[in-house]
Amino acid sequence: MAAQKSVLLVDDSKFARLLVKAFISSNFTDWEIDEAEDATKALAMVEDKTYDYLLVDFNMPGMDGLELGEKLRGLFPDAVIALLTANIQQEIQRKAESIGIDFLAKPPTEEKIRDYIASKEASR
C-alpha cells in the first residue's frame, strides 16, 4: 500500500482553500490536506511536518507566494510546489519557473487540480 500523501494549501482566501481542498479530497480520497492562511503559518506548519504537495497563492498579506515558494523549495527539494494565482503576468511565471515551482492559473477547477496532481503522481 502506498504511503498517504499530504498537501498544504496556502491562500489568504478561505473560500479558495475550501474549494481546492474539496477538489483534491474528491479525487484523492485518502490524502491528508492541511491549510494555512498566510506564509507565516505555513512556515510554522512545515517545521513539524513534511508535505508532498504545496499549493501556494501569490497575493497574500506579508510574504507573497513567490517568496514563500522559494523558502519551501529550499526546505523540500523533492516536493511538488505550485503557485496557484490569478496573477498571470509573464514575469511571475518566469520567476516561479526559475525557483523550481510550477504555475497554475486561477480560477481553480476540479479538472485543472485533478489533472495537475495526477500528472505529477504519474511522473514520481
**Would you kindly state where each structural domain of the chain is located, as residue ranges?**
6-122
- Tell me: the pLDDT tens digits for 58-113? 999 999 999 999 999 999 999 999 999 998 889 999 999 999 999 999 999 999 99
CA distances from 83 to 1, 2, 35, 48, 59 (A): 30, 26, 15, 22, 10
Residue 43: its H or E element: helix 39-46
For residue 14, how many C-alpha atoms fall within 13 Å in the half-sphere facing its CB?
0
CATH architecture of 6-122: 3-Layer(aba) Sandwich (3.40)
Query: Would you state the pLDDT for residue 2?
Result: 54
